[in-house]
Amino acid sequence: MMRKMPIIITGGAQRLGLACAKALLAEGYQVIITYRRMRDEITQLEAQGIACIQADFSTAAGVEAFISQIRNDYSALGGIVHNASEWDSEEEGEDTSLLMEKMWQVHVFAPYRINLAFEALLCAGAEHDGQADIIHMTDYVAEKGSDKHIAYAASKAGLANLTLSFAKRFAPRIKVNAIAPSLLIFNQHDDDEYRKKALNKSLLRKEPGEQEAVLAVQYILDSHYMTGRTLSLDGGRHLV
């Protein structure tokens, strides 16, 4: 039975989040996305029936403003996909005195605060639909680490750990799982040398595309017996 309660996808205006939002909308879900900056896609998504909320998770005030808006507008939720992310590195001239704080704010504090704030809404959604879900989009580097994205990897590892803790706290009505992608889709500016090197890091040596994330989200939403687990989308990279 299709769920009736809305599903939030943070950072849903581009790339993986956008693909997931469109796929769930096509399946008949009510979809809410957040976006940080206005872009052409927002108007199109609103016209298609997706609720779009501007939110800045890089500050505590931004997180609280988003929480207040959702509480004012909705009485129940079917799920949250924590997809909003930052990808800054120690090698890009970033002020390292602030970098860890920034990564931790977006990848750990915001999901932590939102999950706790929406517990009652998710429980109401589970009462209506039979279950509710939280999905944390983590990263392959949470398991292996990264010498070029140290703060990023650490914060994604923190998010992965939140998966375990919230799965315990919210069971049995709310399932909490994670998806840990490696390379799914290149950026437009990635050159041929980088692409070749990146592809060779996995056993399957391919750019699978956004659909892999969509399939993983759909699987978790459809599942009735998985919580506190991580789906790894890495093409066998851990074996190379």
The answer to whether the CB of 138 falls within 8 A of the CB of 164 is no
* Model pLDDT, residue 41: 87
Look up the CATH number of domain 7-239: 3.40.50.720
Q: Is the pLDDT of residue 226 over 80?
A: yes
Per-residue HEC secondary structure of 42-57 comes to HHHHHHHCCEEEECCC
Q: Is the pLDDT of residue 1 over 60?
A: no
* Model pLDDT, residue 234: 94
DSSP assignments along the chain, one per residue: ----S-EEETTTTSHHHHHHHHHHHHTT--EEEEESS--HHHHHHHHHT-EEEE--TTSHHHHHHHHHHHHHH-S--SEEEE-------TTTT--HHHHHHHHHIIIIIHHHHHHHHTHHHHHHHHHHHS-EEEEEE--THHHH--SS-HHHHHHHHHHHHHHHHHHHHHTTTEEEEEEEESS-S--TT--HHHHHHHHTTSSS-S---THHHHHHHHHHHH-SS--S-EEEESTTGGG-
User: Which tens digits make up the pLDDT trace of 159-168?
Assistant: 999 999 999 9
User: Which tens digits make up the pLDDT trace of 32-85?
Assistant: 999 999 988 899 999 999 999 999 999 999 999 999 999 999 999 999 999 999
Q: Is the pLDDT of residue 224 over 80?
A: yes
**112: annotated active-site residue:** no
Q: Is the pLDDT of residue 25 over 80?
A: yes
Averaged pLDDT for residues 133-142: 97
User: Which tens digits make up the pLDDT trace of 174-212?
Assistant: 999 999 999 899 888 888 888 988 888 889 999 899 999
Nearest to 174 by CA among 125, 105, 210, 236: 125
How is residue 67 written in tokens?
A: 């929480």
User: Which tens digits make up the pLDDT trace of 76-125?
Assistant: 999 999 999 998 888 766 678 889 999 999 999 999 999 999 999 999 99
* Model pLDDT, residue 194: 84
- Which is the catalytic residue, given 35, 140, 152, 219? 152
Averaged pLDDT for residues 128-153: 95
Strand partners, 135: 81, 177
Give the number of C-alpha atoms closer than 13 A to the C-alpha of residue 67, restricted to the C-beta side: 18
